[in-house]
Structure 1
């Protein structure tokens, strides 16, 4: 989100007594917006966590169904072998000896008994393994179900917290004077900017092409954005998949120093890592700032306190 430095030049110069009030109002707006951005990212992360947990739940259910099917099949096999050994075939060493016509016949019958016994033991072991697997899968499915329920409740709470914070931000925005509001709404530099070849350049070009689109919390484009959706889609346009949230993007790629920053690097802001921008060069970045402002170019250092820089390519 933009700081007071971005619009300081647009603040009224007269009367002098109005200066502190306008500056303080803008400062409070920025602080409230940063909090809303953090809540937005928290909400998005909770949604991602829920999707991941649902994937685990689906896998656990699949494992359980396969284990139960295997268990049912093996139970049938064990029942048949048990019946053959202990019942219908009445195969024992004594009965084999009594009914045998010759020594070779006896050996053949004993071999059959041993084979059945061996098969039964192996089937029993497989059955026990299947039962154990089914128990494990049941436990995993139950745990994933409970975790999903908790995450759903968390999502709803974060959604409510965000909605409440947005009301506060909008109320504060309405308190800003006309000159400050106009400065915030300004699209800024809309000139053609040369980008480097390759993946980073494609990502930057995509982001630059969105200049003038308005910021909307939680939006994924194509005509409105939040900070992290803009960068995710920019890299997607360049053929690279990165996480949806600013938290995920703050851990993407590899870290670089402030003096190394170049086009395509992700600039991370605030200790909460709640805002991200895409570097155009070592001085400027393009970003979706906050509600009431369009996607625009800003000085990297004016956007907020830089807490990380990540390079996706190179």
Structure 2
């Protein structure tokens, strides 16, 4: 039998190399070494940022929806006109006798009528009358029919253009809606990552911050100096205190920021455009030093967020998803401008 030989021990160099490799492997991330969950304060800041980022596309969505309503009205009008023109043509066809019947119904028309279709109808009719081929009454009817047919063709082209624009507006509105809902989903996911205790802690911290800043969403009666339409608008806004913010909403149970401002002034008989940007462009700019209750306040920029001045350095606004209509100090957000309807 051969001699049993013991395995040769590894060299010192190999031992050192293996040791280094083992050390390196131990430094690789493992599931137990996953990145720590964000703190409650970090979640709060991320959620606030997401809600803020959702405001601009919310206003863009509102603008597209207004355009969509306008286009739908134009499409409906065009279709009504089409139906009217078609009815007029049907009545004219009944008056043009066998010639019109052949021309518009069967397509089997004699050579003289083919000339009418392919050449200059007016010139043909003049010659036909001279030759006695058609009566004055028939000629007038055919001319009217040809004119109505041209109008019908134009109406169809207009309706087609409006329908295309409407489809494009709907697509754009859908994209903006998806963008807003994506931001809100991210915010909800972050909030759901907190434990019940953490969420309670975060809400308590928010309440303390609101109290410190003087914000209020408890129902209240307005007893300030506003008069006339401005008072009506401010009183309406006060009556909405405590109702929830909801993107794209104009009431009566919830509002977004421009939805609240528009509804308040609408209650006073003043019609405002739908979005923050449109309201800013349509209003008369007023200096901060000249603010009066009812004036529209714009924060951050001219298209992101607005509310209404109520006096004493405060404003009422629909803040963001997850919060209710409230009264806040004018400088609770970066003041940008003010306008008067």
Tell me, yes or no, whether TM beats 0.5.
Answer: yes
**Correspondence for 2:247:** 217
Instruction: Judge conservation of contact 1:217–1:225 (CA < 8 Å) in 2.
Output: yes
Alignment of 1:22-37 (within 5 A): 28-37=46-55
Q: Report the alpha carbon displacement of residue 229 of structure 1 after superposing the two structures with TM.
A: 1.6
Unaligned runs of 5+ in 2: 1-38, 102-131
Q: Report the alpha carbon displacement of residue 189 of structure 1 after superposing the two structures with TM.
A: 7.3
Q: Report the alpha carbon displacement of residue 257 of structure 1 after superposing the two structures with TM.
A: 2.7
- Residues 184 and 63 of structure 1: is their aligned pair in 2 closer, same or farther, counting only changes over 3 Å? farther
SS at match of 1:244: coil
**Correspondence for 2:59:** 41
**Correspondence for 1:204:** 234
SS at match of 2:281: coil
The 10-residue stretch of structure 1 (176-185 or 228-237) with the greater mean CA deviation from structure 2: 176-185
SS at match of 2:91: helix
**Correspondence for 1:153:** 171
Q: Distance in 1 between matches of 2:58 and 2:262?
A: 15
1:59 aligns with 2:77: yes
1:169 aligns with 2:187: yes
The Cα offsets for residues 222-267 of structure 1, whole Å up to 9 and x where unpaired, read as: 3332111211221122122223332332233423233322111112
Instruction: Judge conservation of contact 1:184–1:292 (CA < 8 Å) in 2.
Output: no
Q: Report the alpha carbon displacement of residue 285 of structure 1 after superposing the two structures with TM.
A: 1.1
Q: Distance in 2 between matches of 1:254 and 1:71?
A: 50
- Residues 128 and 269 of structure 1: is their aligned pair in 2 closer, same or farther, counting only changes over 3 Å? farther
SS at match of 1:285: strand
Please point out which of 207, 227, 239 is paired with 1:182.
207
Q: TM-score normalized by structure 1? A: 0.71
- Residues 273 and 122 of structure 1: is their aligned pair in 2 closer, same or farther, counting only changes over 3 Å? same
SS at match of 1:177: helix
**Correspondence for 1:311:** 340
Aligned-pair Cα RMSD in Å:
3.2
- Residues 189 and 159 of structure 1: is their aligned pair in 2 closer, same or farther, counting only changes over 3 Å? closer
Q: Distance in 1 between matches of 2:210 and 2:184?
A: 18
Q: Distance in 2 between matches of 1:260 and 1:149?
A: 44
Unaligned runs of 5+ in 1: 1-20, 84-112
Q: Distance in 2 between matches of 1:159 and 1:243?
A: 20
SS at match of 2:297: strand
Q: Distance in 2 between matches of 1:167 and 1:195?
A: 42
Q: TM-score normalized by structure 2? A: 0.66
- Residues 22 and 248 of structure 1: is their aligned pair in 2 closer, same or farther, counting only changes over 3 Å? same
Q: Report the alpha carbon displacement of residue 195 of structure 1 after superposing the two structures with TM.
A: 4.0
Q: Distance in 1 between matches of 2:242 and 2:53?
A: 23
Q: Report the alpha carbon displacement of residue 149 of structure 1 after superposing the two structures with TM.
A: 2.1
Q: Distance in 1 between matches of 2:169 and 2:216?
A: 40
The 10-residue stretch of structure 1 (180-189 or 39-48) with the greater mean CA deviation from structure 2: 180-189
- Residues 153 and 189 of structure 1: is their aligned pair in 2 closer, same or farther, counting only changes over 3 Å? closer
Greater relative contact order (Cα 8 A, min sep 6): structure 1 or 2? 1
1:293 aligns with 2:323: yes
Q: Distance in 1 between matches of 2:188 and 2:315?
A: 25
SS at match of 1:225: coil
The 10-residue stretch of structure 1 (70-79 or 53-62) with the greater mean CA deviation from structure 2: 70-79
Q: Report the alpha carbon displacement of residue 136 of structure 1 after superposing the two structures with TM.
A: 0.8
Q: Distance in 1 between matches of 2:156 and 2:296?
A: 42
SS at match of 1:214: coil
Instruction: Judge conservation of contact 1:259–1:282 (CA < 8 Å) in 2.
Output: no
The 10-residue stretch of structure 1 (129-138 or 264-273) with the greater mean CA deviation from structure 2: 264-273
Q: Distance in 1 between matches of 2:147 and 2:208?
A: 69
- Residues 82 and 194 of structure 1: is their aligned pair in 2 closer, same or farther, counting only changes over 3 Å? closer
